Structure 1
Amino acid sequence: MSEDSRRMEEDDRGPGAAFNVFVLMEDLLDKLKLLNYEEEVLIKNNMKPVSRLYFALQTNPGEQFYMFCTLAAWLINKAGHRIDQPQEYDDPNATISKILSELRAFGVSADFPPSKLKAGYGEQVCYVLDCLAEETLKYIGFTWKRPIYPSEEQDEETVVEDDAELTLNKIEDEIAEDDSDDDEDHFIDLNVLKTQTNKLGSESSKPDEILESKTDAAEWNLEVERVLPHLKVTIRTDNKDWRVHVDQMHQHKDGIDTALKETKGYLDKLHNEISKTLEKVGSREKYINNQLDPLIQEYRAAQAQFSEVKDQYQQVSSRVTEKTRILSEITEDLEKVKQEIEEKGSSMTDGAPLVKIKQALTKLKQETVEMDIRIGVVEHTLLQAKLKEKSNMTRDMHATVIPQ
């Protein structure tokens, strides 16, 4: 698959397709942990644990490919099929073909080239291992169930005591906490008070006759007024009581109202100052605009003139460029002509051909002299042969004449 086709495929799948490999890797790691791969694979083969990004990103292709083959073979064997455990120096193509054939035997389609698995990382590697892990979980009978969340224990409802109900035990506890604040002279023995109340209660539970009060009301009121300032009853507040929350809300509301009044005054003052400052800035801006209006008009006129000059400059520049091109062509033709003239001048002033001609003439003269010598030798030899033949003929003629 080419790079363009792969990009087109990712565009068709959507922008989140690039992150699908991380989701697959997390699901795969959870399934491997369910299958107890730490003890059966890592400890047995002395390997490091697999992280959540191990097969999603490239770290060490050789190590990742070996881990992929080891996990794939272990999952296939655990799912009921048989495959030899791959070794580190096995042929990777043969190992990948075995794994893909076993994957197809489970009924899982693998519509991608086997070379994708040779890298040891990527979406295809995570897909193959995830499918094998899923088949293994089905083989061992594992089923996914909904999570069971623990029920939260509800706090026991606290009984809110009425502020009006004051028992002797509560008064005793609260007064014991405020001992340090009270003077020792005004200390009230609550135990004696309790015993007295118990006695009164026991006596009143079984009255023999109708009780009549013999206490003077004025003296009783005076005694109450004397003792009342020394009776301090502190009621313990419960943080969970709604009344406490209401009081806190009222306190916060009063604090917010108080702070709002002060803050509102400051904000109004700040608003007025900002408004005045904005008015000053606006008036100064108008004054500056009025002062700079002639300069702006001049600037606009200069800018328009500059644009016209710029257009003329561009036109002249285009003409200069054309003339420069023509000049370069003429210069090239001139250089060619100069080069031809130099070549012809060098050939005319060069004496090498003349020297060669002289040498050739000298050689021809020598060869001519040699030929003349050879011709003379041949003529001399021929003359000697003719003279010898002539002397022989004369000798034969004398010999024939003498016998007669």
Structure 2
Amino acid sequence: MADGDERRRGDDMEGESSGPGAAYQMFVQMEDMIDKLKLLHYEEEFCRQLGFKPFSRHYFAIPTNPGEQFYNFTSLAAWLLRVSGKQFDQPQEYDDPNATISSILEELRGFGHGVDFPPSKLKTGCGEQCIYVLDCFSNEALKTANFSWKMPVYPEEETEEDVIEDDDAELDLNKVEEEMQEDIDEDFEEEENILGLDDLKKMRKNQENAESTKPEEIMQSNTNAADWKLEVERVQPQLKVTIRTDNKDWRVHIDQMHQHKGGIETSLKETKVYLDKLHDEISKTLEKIGSREKYINNQLEHHLHEFRAMQDQLAEAKERYRQASGGVTERTRTLAELTDELDQVKMQMEERGTSMTDGTPLVKIKQALQNLKKEITQMEIRMGVVEHVLLQARLKSKNSNKITNNMDNDMDDNEY
């Protein structure tokens, strides 16, 4: 059976390019596989026990929900393997799909079936490859169950003679009406024809012949009653007329309405008794429920008052808590503001304290004073140098003036 399935599958794969009907071969295989599953009673042993719904005839042939179809495919394959006598655990939704597919293909190779497609084709949970795997497993399960296909039993066909006799025996109302209409038309045509002299002569001759053939005495039958009944039974099927009901006829609708009315009246009489009993039982139960409700209310009235008082106290406590929590929030907000201001004051005090205790400004002042002293000494030195130069310049100018005066005096003396 496995070789035949592989050969058929190979023919189907080759037939994809041979004709347009090969695209629908997958649906045919799916229907065959569903029939095999029904032979294995999968609806009772698989669907009800494991909580699955029965699959439609084209469930694994049409992609709808890949995750759901893959889980159903692996679960059905595991069940078929267990039916075939293999130890195979029920797959879970969180299992690794690659490991599950590899174990299924390993079991398929163990049965002797070839696998000429990649394992990724089975991840979708539908398609030709999934149907092929399930079909192979269902065949192995049928082998394990010792199921054998029986020879088909064909119904016996009736002979042509009987059919012909039945057709002749049963007359159709339409045929009878047509024949009557033809006879009426012929009568009208005969009346429309103008009677001639020859026709009148023929009619007189026929009347004379009829008068001559009239019996002079009353005829008496010599036929036996038993023979007459046999003849009637023989002729009766030929006199049978079948009348086909027309749904458009108003008479048929009236008859149906009368029938339905009678059926409703009879069923109403039967059901009215049960409805009255049901009404009485319901009214009694309602009265019991009402009385018990009153009794419970009377018993629990004191507790209800206490419960309502406790509810009022709870509402008052919630209101006080809300008011207190509002004051607390306001105080926490002011506290946060005060803490911020205190932090700022502390920072300012720390800055001032560090500035007062820090000796860097004094050091800077000393360095500035030293620099000023150095500059002053340098200026004094420069002033002394300038004064010395000026004194020398003055002395030189005095000496030059003396020389010039002497020279002027000498000049004057020489002139004299």
Q: Is TM > 0.5 for Structure 1 vs Structure 2? A: no
TM-score normalized by the length of structure 1: 0.41
